Amino acid sequence: MSEQAGYVVAVVGATGAVGQEMIAMLESRGFPVKTLRAMASPRSAGKKLSFNEGEVEVEDLSTADFTGVDYALFSAGGSTSLEYAPKAAAQGAIVIDNSSAWRMDDEVPLVVPEVNPEALKDIPKGIIANPNCSTIQMVAALKPLHDAAGMNRVVVSTYQSASGAGQKGIDELMQDMDAYYQRGPEPERKKFAHPLAFEVLPHIDVFLDSGYTKEEMKMVYETQKIMSLPDLNVSATCVRVPVVRAHSEAVTIDFDEELSADKARELLEQAPGVELLDVPQENVYPLARQAASTEPVWVGRIRQDTQRPKTLHLWVVADNLLKGAALNAVQIAEALAAANV
């Protein structure tokens, strides 16, 4: 590849937590970037961001022209994506969007490259959706098991970190810690309904009339779409915990055929993007602090149900800012580039 070979890549929302991780992933994974364009709101325009031993000046998204951009990685919120993603696609860019805005659009593929790369063959709107962070890590673990034994029901309880609510979520957790120890005032509630320090909150996103939250229903619908299983029975309970980074999940799976824990371990050891960490007798199992800033989906605590031989229980942990967002988006771009799309 010549010095000038490569792709023009735009990162929209470049100054946010996920946007910065997208830039870091492009660099650390050696994605062939010829030109990086960083875009954000007018208040961030003019800032300088580091990339590949140089600097990139942040552009004002409201006046940006996407002509010549090959891939546009969006992480700027749903309303921004609804307004600007079609404009970017109309100007020739393939958009990879991290918000929830396009995920359930029938003409927008919802992709985890290890699970459903075939969905990238048809991109009618020029937009690809990055799934919800909690969904991505779960389906990466489910895929090899479903291929072996067929799933008919999934029940998941999540333990989601403060960073799932962005940098402001992390800040609010830290302010809650200070308030708990009387080192500072009680923070204004901007991200969490109650103080998160030393607490678990069974409340992520808004409550719906069904009693489920929007976050829980995202896991239901997105899992069905990604795995092409529209009738799969999925139930989720999503919980915020006082962890800074990385989401954890307790997953129960009912299969059509019996699948032993040993066979599941064998399958997961071979699964792309998955790392097995399952020696509970030696206190070895996935932990959020160990998963933070790492790329794999970590799986452990694999066990067969004591009364239902066609049921397995798993513990799944991944960095929500990486595999749950930035890394998955970059992997989609890598898959497109490999296919010359």
Give phi and psi for 212, each to the nearest 5.
-85, 160
Handedness of CA 338, 78, 81, 45 (dihedral sign): negative
Residue 22 CA to residue 321 CA, distance in Å, equals 9
* Annotated catalytic residue 247: yes
> Both tokens of residue 29?
């994974």
Residue 214 CA to residue 244 CA, distance in Å, equals 22
Residue 18 CA to residue 157 CA, distance in Å, equals 24
Residue 5 CA to residue 34 CA, distance in Å, equals 6
Residue 38 CA to residue 228 CA, distance in Å, equals 34
Region at 220 (left for phi over 0; alpha for psi -120 to 50; beta for the rest): alpha
* Annotated catalytic residue 194: no
Q: Point out the catalytic residue in the list 146, 238, 247, 313.
A: 247
Q: Point out the catalytic residue in the list 133, 146, 238, 313.
A: 133
E strands in 139-258: 151-160, 233-240, 247-255
Which of the residues are catalytic? 133, 247
